[in-house]
Chain A
Amino acid sequence: MKRFFGFVKKEFYHIFRDVRTMLILFGIPIAQLLLFGTVIKNDIKDAEIAIYDQSKDEVTQEITAKLLSSGYFILDRNLESINDIEAIFKKGKVKEVIVFESNFGRLLEKEGKANVQIIADASDPNMGKLLANYTTGILNDYITKKMGEMKVPLQIKPEVRMFYNEELESVYLFVPGIMAMILMLISAMMTSISITREKELGTMEILLVSPLKPVQIILGKVAPYLGLSIINAFVIILIGNLVFGVPIVGSTILLMAETILFIMMALCLGIMISTAAKTQMVAMFISLIALMLPTILLSGFIFPVENMPMALQWLSSIMPPRWFIVILKNIMLKGTGLLYVWKETLILLAMTSVFTIVAVKKFKTRLE
């Protein structure tokens, strides 16, 4: 046992002595969280539009002013011809063109009806759709105000309350995702690489002939990363809370316990990868290709899982971060207890044990 602690100590020294590694392990996650917390947003702001106003009357100018003061749009230019639209879209800057028909104001006044054409650049379909939605929203708003006293009979008006995130901040959605991603990658990637490194450089053999048991060797290699990841998790939650104002409505203890469970799971995954990979390059590739993109795309970090095709929803359920993100959202934002996340917790536990069993089996067969 004493020998084991000696070994763990050595591993700690290895990592903590090297300033560069330390900087990487602490600086990077924090920098990423700060950066992504402020940068990753999917709401519309300052989208560049062009307007082709064939009427140029009071009404169109009022509508234009209303559009531009909404905060969603800024005017890139006024167009003079319908033929310019394609060229301007090809430049890539302008995302939407609004075309008012001629005599717009007069038609609206005389006939109560006027036409406007909204042309969205749908090469980004999400953006295109949102922009068109916002534009029609503003047009409707204008009309409703204009009708003013003309009372429209029989209205059912929606009274909406946004739960858990009243200001509709995208940070609320992304902080749990970023946290899951960073922990996953640091824990799984770093352990897999550090163990494979010993294999590649031949030093693993030396450790294996030492009186340490294989299990102890692995535990010793993993221990520092466990410590590191826990500290990282603390820091991330703290920054999320203090800098971005993401609340922790639920129990902090439960949150920590779940986080440690997730870290353990990721470490076991890392060990499992390292038993399969012969070189660091392979370990890196598995961790990166198999973990990074799926973690971003399939976990519900950016794109909601329930929108995906059935087959992908199945695939996403073997992605550990998916469950962790649900747990984080529940505890941090909704303030629910274990009662609402026991299923996800069990899944993470099951994953941890599967990874451990596979790793131990692989490790043993290699030794024999």
Chain B
Amino acid sequence: MRTILYILQKEFIQIFRNKTMLPMIFMVPLIQMLILVFAATYDLKNVDIFLVDKNLSETSRELVSHFEGSPFFNIYDASFDLAKAENSLKSDDADLIMLIPENFESDLIRDDEVGLQLLVNAIDGNKAQLIFSYVQGILSSYNKKVIAEWKGLAEFNPPLQIKAKISYWFNSELDYKWYMAPGILAILVTIIGMFLCGMNLVREKEIGTIEQLNVTPIQKYQFIVGKLIPFLVIALFDLAFGLLLAKIAFNLPIAGSLALLFGFGTLYLVGVLGLGLFISTVADTQQQVMFVSFFFMMIFILMGGIFTPVDSMPDWAQTLDRVNPIYYFMKIMRNVVMKGSGFTDLIEEFVSLIVIGLVFLSLSIWRYRKTS
């Protein structure tokens, strides 16, 4: 035990003496969180419409003004020239082309029904679908209004309707920042912990000081634990600062217990730091450590459900996620922070994280060789 304390003392001295790294460890991640959280939103704000109105009737104008009145849509340009319209789609100036056919008004009167052509840039499928559903919303309210007016009614109600009342729980304003802040914080904490820890160990290999340690009676577990704890502490500090900052800057509600969150955080970090250490016991250079850790990081992050929902992934990927520590931590962060989930809600995650932590930690202790 005393030996571990001496190792810890040494590591902390070295970390706090490095004046280039210190700000990077504490400041950079927090600044990143503050900035990047704003970036992560699927909220559609401005859909640019290129209008080709071949009808130019009162009805068509009214329809267009209906779109203009919506906060989502914006008539970017109007012309009869279809080629020009298509160019605007190509150059990304417009998101969709709205084509009102020549006989729009007369067809509507005669057939009671008319088509409105919409050409949507669908490279981002999600966005295209959202645009479509907004268009539908506007059309249906317009339809009702027109019917009421033409039939001289105060309000038109279709013969059958299901009234859906939608409520959004835990985040009634649909604030993206609340969703992204815990996620980005989890990534940053992971990067800091896993990379610093792994590179620190392999650096001793590169400089050669590890030989000096290997001729001492130091035990393998003492060495690994001594290397792990400093970065665990730093990462937990980053987590605490980050949460505080998110609370102040984004008014992030922290519904659950902080003790629970940090308990899980510790468990999680032991796992990823153990992985970082394991990689560095196998590698010879910092470059290798970095690249391999980077590989795992990318997979963990992108499969962890931070940016895209895990439920949308193919089944095999969801099965693979069972060994992805970020997947669990992500879930824990969001559930505890936003919904106030308690320990009993997260037993599965608890057990999984313990298993992952034990496996990676034992792997790194096993693989660390005092004798080559």
B-binding residues in A (CB < 8 A): 20-21, 24-25, 28, 31-32, 35-36, 38-48, 86, 89-92, 95, 108, 112-129, 132-133, 135-137, 139-140, 142-143, 146-147, 150-170, 172-173, 185, 189-190, 193-194, 197, 200-201, 278-282, 284-285, 288-290, 292-294, 296-298, 302-304, 306-309, 311-312, 315-316, 326, 329-330, 333-334, 336, 340
CB distance from B229 to the nearest CB of A (A): 19
Contact A289 B335 (CB under 8 A): no
B303 at the interface (CB under 8 A from A): yes
Contact B295 A123 (CB under 8 A): no
Per-position 1/0 for B303-329, Cβ under 8 A of A: 100011101111001000000000000
Stretch at the interface among B39-47, B214-222, B363-371: B39-47
| The residue from B41, B143, B167 contacting A303, defined by CB atoms under 8 A apart | B41
CB distance from A292 to the nearest CB of B (A): 8
Complex Cα–Cα for A25 and B45 (A): 40
Contact A163 B122 (CB under 8 A): yes
23 A-B contact pairs sorted by A residue (CB < 8 Å): A21-B288, A36-B302, A39-B302, A86-B169, A92-B331, A119-B166, A122-B168, A122-B172, A154-B150, A161-B119, A162-B122, A165-B128, A168-B128, A197-B285, A200-B206, A279-B20, A280-B287, A281-B286, A282-B24, A297-B36, A298-B36, A303-B40, A307-B43
Contact B139 A168 (CB under 8 A): no
B2 at the interface (CB under 8 A from A): no
Complex Cα–Cα for A21 and B283 (A): 11
- Nearest B-chain residue to A137, judged by Cβ: B133
B32 at the interface (CB under 8 A from A): yes
B90 at the interface (CB under 8 A from A): yes
Contact B143 A112 (CB under 8 A): no
CB distance from A267 to the nearest CB of B (A): 16
Contact B116 A90 (CB under 8 A): no
| The residue from A20, A121, A158, A309 contacting B132, defined by CB atoms under 8 A apart | A158
Contact A20 to B288, CB < 8 A, known contacts A128-B171, A156-B63: yes
10 shortest interchain CB distances as A-B pairs: A168-B125, A122-B168, A162-B122, A125-B174, A122-B171, A123-B338, A90-B341, A165-B122, A41-B312, A159-B115
Chain A residues within 8 Å of B123, by CB: 164-165, 172-173, 329, 333-334
Contact A139 B175 (CB under 8 A): no
Known: A156-B139, A284-B199, A312-B35. 18 other contacts (CB 8 A): A28-B295, A38-B317, A43-B129, A47-B311, A117-B165, A121-B170, A122-B168, A123-B338, A157-B116, A160-B132, A163-B121, A189-B291, A279-B20, A280-B203, A282-B21, A292-B191, A296-B301, A307-B44
- Nearest B-chain residue to A329, judged by Cβ: B123
Complex Cα–Cα for A320 and B313 (A): 29
Chain B residues within 8 Å of A153, by CB: 112, 147, 150-151
Contact A185 B294 (CB under 8 A): yes
Chain A residues within 8 Å of B132, by CB: 158, 160
Complex Cα–Cα for A333 and B101 (A): 28
Tally of contact residues, B, Cβ under 8 A: 115
Complex Cα–Cα for A67 and B107 (A): 35
Chain A residues within 8 Å of B288, by CB: 20-21, 24
Complex Cα–Cα for A170 and B63 (A): 32
Contact A155 B112 (CB under 8 A): yes
Complex Cα–Cα for A185 and B38 (A): 23
- Nearest A-chain residue to B176, judged by Cβ: A125
Contact B143 A156 (CB under 8 A): yes
Complex Cα–Cα for A155 and B143 (A): 6
Complex Cα–Cα for A238 and B309 (A): 27
Complex Cα–Cα for A307 and B166 (A): 24
Complex Cα–Cα for A290 and B28 (A): 9
Complex Cα–Cα for A349 and B361 (A): 47
| The residue from A32, A114, A336 contacting B295, defined by CB atoms under 8 A apart | A32
Complex Cα–Cα for A180 and B269 (A): 30
Chain A residues within 8 Å of B124, by CB: 173, 304
Q: Which of B35, B122, B151, B294 has the most CB of A within 10 A?
A: B122
B162 at the interface (CB under 8 A from A): yes
CB distance from B310 to the nearest CB of A (A): 9
Chain B residues within 8 Å of A139, by CB: 162, 164
Chain B residues within 8 Å of A124, by CB: 179, 309, 334
B71 at the interface (CB under 8 A from A): no
Within 8 A of A (CB), among B272-304: 285-288, 290-292, 294-295, 298-299, 301-303
Chain B residues within 8 Å of A121, by CB: 169-170, 339
B117 at the interface (CB under 8 A from A): yes
B260 at the interface (CB under 8 A from A): no
| The residue from A39, A86, A137, A157 contacting B317, defined by CB atoms under 8 A apart | A39
CB distance from A293 to the nearest CB of B (A): 6
B355 at the interface (CB under 8 A from A): no
Contact B161 A112 (CB under 8 A): yes
Chain A residues within 8 Å of B24, by CB: 282, 285, 289
Chain A residues within 8 Å of B334, by CB: 92, 123-124
Complex Cα–Cα for A334 and B309 (A): 28
Chain B residues within 8 Å of A113, by CB: 160-163
Complex Cα–Cα for A92 and B178 (A): 16
Contact A41 B187 (CB under 8 A): no
Chain A residues within 8 Å of B251, by CB: none
Complex Cα–Cα for A279 and B158 (A): 71
Complex Cα–Cα for A122 and B312 (A): 17
Q: Which of B28, B187, B290 has the most CB of A within 10 A?
A: B290
- Nearest A-chain residue to B104, judged by Cβ: A156
Complex Cα–Cα for A114 and B40 (A): 37
Complex Cα–Cα for A39 and B164 (A): 33
Per-position 1/0 for B80-118, Cβ under 8 A of A: 000000000111100000000000000010001111111
| The residue from A120, A140, A302 contacting B166, defined by CB atoms under 8 A apart | A120
B245 at the interface (CB under 8 A from A): no
Chain A residues within 8 Å of B122, by CB: 162-166, 168
- Nearest A-chain residue to B285, judged by Cβ: A197
Complex Cα–Cα for A296 and B32 (A): 12
Contact A45 B311 (CB under 8 A): yes
CB distance from B40 to the nearest CB of A (A): 5
Chain A residues within 8 Å of B307, by CB: 40, 296, 302-303
Contact B287 A194 (CB under 8 A): yes
- Nearest B-chain residue to A38, judged by Cβ: B314
CB distance from A33 to the nearest CB of B (A): 11
Contact B176 A158 (CB under 8 A): no
B127 at the interface (CB under 8 A from A): yes
B342 at the interface (CB under 8 A from A): yes
